[in-house]
Structure 1
Amino acid sequence: MKKPEANTQQEKAEIEQLSQAELVELVLGLQKIIEELKEKLAIATGKSRTNSKTSSQPPALDLIQKSEKAKVSAEEEPKKKPGGQPGHQGKNRKGFGRIDRYEISNPEICNWCGSRELSEVISLQTQQVACLVAKPIEVVEYQTQSCKCLECGGVVRGSLPEGIVAGQDLNINLQALLVWLGNYGHLSYQKQQELIGELGAIEIGTGTLQKTNQRVAEAVEPTINDLWEWATHRPNVHVDETLRVRDGSQGMVMDR
């Protein structure tokens, strides 16, 4: 809305009556107001360089500012479209390397006329899908039979298949999975019990999990010791927060 002309003339007359010092103060005040308005406009449009660390503005205003790096990259490089880029050599999925079972779907009725008189197969479409089955863990009872030799009279008994240990409730593959989940996946015994219950609808006691972990630890201990002995005699040893090796020539430290 425009100010009335009379008010404008009155303000002009009042300004003309001001001294030089008063005019300087007025100009400086207006300049300060202009700078503040510029900064507010820059914040609103995401172009401000100030933030809560470099000024007194609240941290909430930092959220609407775009990063300078993102701004530069956006100006220098055009935005790429999603998907394969020009010149990229695509790769087609070739399956999983094995097929555990087949499921064949045959049409029983014509969707067009309802007839059940259908010809032999004229084409076949395949699709390989990895599925999580209802019970990936199966419980097997192994029966080892004993027989008597008709020549010498000796009694012989069948042997357990590979991966099955006499007196142990879990085969070595399942034991390895549990040890991986506990030591590498950092799953507690309770969570391991819940997972096995979901996968195989079976219950595994905490004592079984503890003994399994202990057995595997004892089984790999000789190999770990050999690796430890080998690593301490290497001229160059990797250093991180979990493995530090002392080398005589380089003064490095290894913690076990």
Structure 2
Amino acid sequence: MPSDKSIASLSKKIDDLIELVNHLYGEIKDLKRELKSLQRENAQMKEKLSKYEHPKNSNNSSVPPSKDENRPFKSKSLRKKTGRKPGGQKGREGKTLQMVSDPDKIIDHSPDYCKCCGLELGSIPGILVGRRQEIDIPPITPVVTEHRVYEKQCNCGHVTKSSFPGGITAPVSYGSMIESLTGYFHSRQYIPFLRMQELFRDIFSVPISEGGIHYLLNRFSSKALPVYHKIKDMITTSSTVGTDETGGRLNGKKIWIWT
């Protein structure tokens, strides 16, 4: 049997090993906490660096253009401060809707019975005591005009055929008013083709394709070409020419447009 001395020695070694294990276990816990902290810091650094390696902007994400880092600086107003509050100033002449003397439609509203005794008032003439006018737009419906050509045979035997008006070259085509509105919506109001389709369909009940809009714009621009050349000639021969420089962005790059 082992002696008491050897048992005591083994017991001390076991205690030392237990103490060492507890110490190492504590260090492992500390290292794990430190590792988690470093992992969090690493993730945060990666997120920050990703903004510079692959920055998000209005071209590759849902970030609005106003948040682009390289967006053009907002121009400052050149107006001088007047010290006055914004909005209408005292003493200014106000503008309001005015009644017209010859309305397109008149609706008379007369009482049918007495609100006191209930007597019928239909046979009693009324006295005008008030007027109010309402301005509105009537329902818009397209007008389809059919052009028909005829031929007639003269007593001499010759057959004469009439001609379609100028511009009526297809079995079905759009008229000058739709052509003018297309040019106005596109060149003045800057309405995209798809929204212009919706506008013609929903407001005017006129179906039109993107190709149809493109065709009408080309037709309209060809009519304006003589005026364009006249303006160009006037600018070319003018002693003074005014220009405008406008900044913009195209495919993420800054561009300049001179007009």
Q: Give the TM-score normalised by the residue count of structure 1.
A: 0.50
Higher relative contact order (CA 8 A, sep 6+): 2
Higher strand share: 2
